[in-house]
């Protein structure tokens, strides 16, 4: 808030006017993401890097169909199309014939229809489209810093964009995070999209727990913002606006043929991370040592996961300096998940692009607002502004002194001395 105090010589009174600042009007947070293009150079850099990222994503995502999971997912879609029903038991395997079977069938049916329309070539194009869509969602509200980080993350995104049901989790995870981070920054995101996306997610892939994890992470993010008094009100307002849509999103998870059991099946998907991580390659943890870091940062053949870990190592201290505890916690948590499982590195990459991109862009474009005790008081006399390096308390003392002068009549001709009928003291 900007407090403007003015003295009216005609009435002999001092009036105080409270003006809402631009950052408070947008939820009390001033971030670069709310206006990432501060100069024409920023716009040009974003256009160049953004187009380069989208072109890179298209080329990296266009690859030969080789994933083994696509076969049984196509077979499931064909069985549903031919029998016009959803199987509740295993109808394909030999060793588990007739056992209970719970898996989203919409993705298999979609792949089967795409295969009928264009064969494996069109399925390859679908994988490229998923990769491009994910990158486009990352660039939706970003700056040129975000575009640069997206280029670094594309190899990880493309590696999980092969035609299989998981591509829907990658795209929807990026969409969820983009909306939630917009809500965190501005408080005006279209949260009504979350339940709709969850209804699609629960019928496409078992990775829906990632969406619920993002919602829980957002609540933690706003709770950490309440540590700072100047952010507490905006955090409460954001949560008050968001909680009905979060409840609707959790309820939308039940819109599937198996109801709540789909959530249990989704948790079962994460079991290989603890039980069989040494048997399934994609669920194995990432081994990190000094040699891997050195080779991962080489210019000839860099490892993008190691590079993104370095980005996190830089972004976390920056976030802590800027008192963004939530962003630091998110980045550390995502890094731990990426180290724990190679399959989750794509989700780690998406978090780094959006969260670290916001931290770096804010650090570059919008320096932190000085605290109240370091604010400068501006005194305007007869239209001329003089900047005094005093604190806010000094200005309030000055106001009290002016009131005392005019109340006792010591200077009845003070307005004539200054050559004006108005004395304005602006504090902000």
Residues 40 and 50: beta-carbon distance below 8 Å? no
* pLDDT at residue 275 is higher than 50: yes
In this prediction, residue 426 carries a pLDDT of: 43
The percentage of residues in the chain with a pLDDT greater than 90, rounded to a whole number, is 48
With tokens 């939820």, the residue in question is 27
In this prediction, residue 33 carries a pLDDT of: 47
**Residues with Cβ < 8 Å from 323, sequence gap 6 or more?**
228, 368
pLDDT confidence tier of residue 174, bands split at 50, 70 and 90: very high
**Residues with Cβ < 8 Å from 290, sequence gap 6 or more?**
none
- Chain center to CA of 245: 17
Q: Which two tokens stand for residue 261?
A: 């059991």
pLDDT confidence tier of residue 282, bands split at 50, 70 and 90: confident
With tokens 């264009």, the residue in question is 118
Residue 289, burial from CB neighbour count under 10 angstroms (0-12, 13-18, 19+): exposed
Reported as half-sphere exposure (CB side, CA atoms, 13 A), residue 397 has a value of 5
Q: Which two tokens stand for residue 428?
A: 């902000």
| Cα distance between residue 65 and residue 68, in whole Å | 9
| Cα distance between residue 42 and residue 57, in whole Å | 22
CA-based nearest residue to 176, from 256, 249, 269: 249
Q: What is the largest CA-CA distance in the chain?
A: 103
Residues 60 and 158: beta-carbon distance below 8 Å? yes
pLDDT in tens, 370-420: 444 333 434 443 333 434 444 455 555 545 554 544 444 433 444 433 333
Q: Enter the pTM of the model.
A: 0.77
Indicate the range of 20-34, 193-207, 326-340, 375-389 predicted with least confidence: 375-389
| Cα distance between residue 370 and residue 420, in whole Å | 32
More confident residue, 41 or 113: 113
Average pLDDT taken over every residue of the chain: 79
The percentage of residues in the chain with a pLDDT greater than 70, rounded to a whole number, is 73
Q: How far is CA 257 from CA 75, 103, 164, 237, 270, in A?
A: 19, 10, 21, 36, 21
Backbone φ and ψ of 172, nearest 5°: -70, -30
Residues 362 and 32: beta-carbon distance below 8 Å? yes
In this prediction, residue 142 carries a pLDDT of: 78
| Cα distance between residue 340 and residue 285, in whole Å | 5
pLDDT in tens, 27-55: 445 454 445 556 888 889 999 999 999 99
**Residues with Cβ < 8 Å from 415, sequence gap 6 or more?**
9, 421, 422, 423
């Amino acid at each position: 808030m900007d407090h403007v105090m003015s003295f009216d010589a005609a009435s002999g009174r001092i009036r105080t006017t409270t003006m809402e600042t631009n950052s408070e009007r947008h939820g009390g947070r001033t971030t670069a993401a709310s206006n990432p293009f501060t100069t024409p150079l920023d716009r040009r850099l974003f256009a160049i890097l953004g187009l380069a990222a989208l072109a890179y994503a298209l080329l990296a995502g266009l690859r030969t169909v080789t994933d083994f999971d696509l076969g049984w997912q196509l077979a499931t879609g064909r069985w549903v199309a031919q029998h016009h029903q959803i199987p509740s038991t295993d109808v394909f395997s030999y060793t588990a014939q007739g056992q209970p079977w719970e898996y989203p069938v919409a993705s298999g049916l979609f792949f089967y229809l795409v295969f009928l329309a264009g064969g494996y070539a069109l399925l390859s194009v679908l994988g490229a489209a998923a990769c491009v869509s994910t990158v486009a969602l990352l660039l939706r509200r970003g700056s040129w810093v975000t575009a640069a980080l997206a280029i670094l993350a594309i190899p990880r995104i493309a590696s999980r964009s092969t035609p299989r049901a998981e591509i829907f989790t990658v795209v929807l995870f990026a969409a969820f995070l983009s909306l939630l981070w917009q809500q965190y920054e501005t408080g005006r995101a279209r949260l009504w999209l979350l339940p709709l996306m969850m209804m699609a997610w629960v019928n496409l892939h078992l990775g829906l727990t990632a969406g619920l994890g993002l919602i829980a992470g957002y609540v933690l993010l706003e709770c950490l913002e309440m540590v700072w008094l100047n952010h507490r009100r905006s955090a409460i307002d954001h949560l008050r606006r968001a909680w009905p849509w979060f409840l609707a999103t959790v309820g939308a998870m039940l819109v599937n043929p198996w109801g709540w059991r789909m959530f249990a099946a989704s948790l079962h998907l994460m079991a290989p991370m603890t039980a069989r991580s040494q048997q399934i390659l994609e669920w194995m943890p990432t081994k990190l040592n000094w040699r891997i870091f050195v080779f991962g940062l080489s210019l000839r053949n860099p490892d993008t996961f190691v590079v993104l870990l370095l980005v996190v190592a830089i972004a976390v201290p920056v976030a802590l300096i800027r008192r963004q505890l939530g962003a630091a916690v998110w980045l550390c948590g995502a890094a731990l998940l990426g180290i724990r499982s190679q399959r989750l590195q794509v989700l780690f990459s998406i978090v780094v692009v959006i969260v670290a991109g916001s931290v770096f862009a804010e650090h570059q474009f919008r320096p932190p607002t000085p605290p109240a005790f370091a604010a400068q008081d501006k005194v305007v006399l007869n239209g001329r502004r003089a900047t005094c390096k005093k604190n806010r308390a000094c200005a309030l003392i000055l106001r009290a002194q002016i009131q005392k002068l005019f109340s006792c009549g010591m200077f009845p001709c003070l307005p004539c001395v200054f050559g004006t009928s108005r004395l304005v003291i602006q504090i902000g």
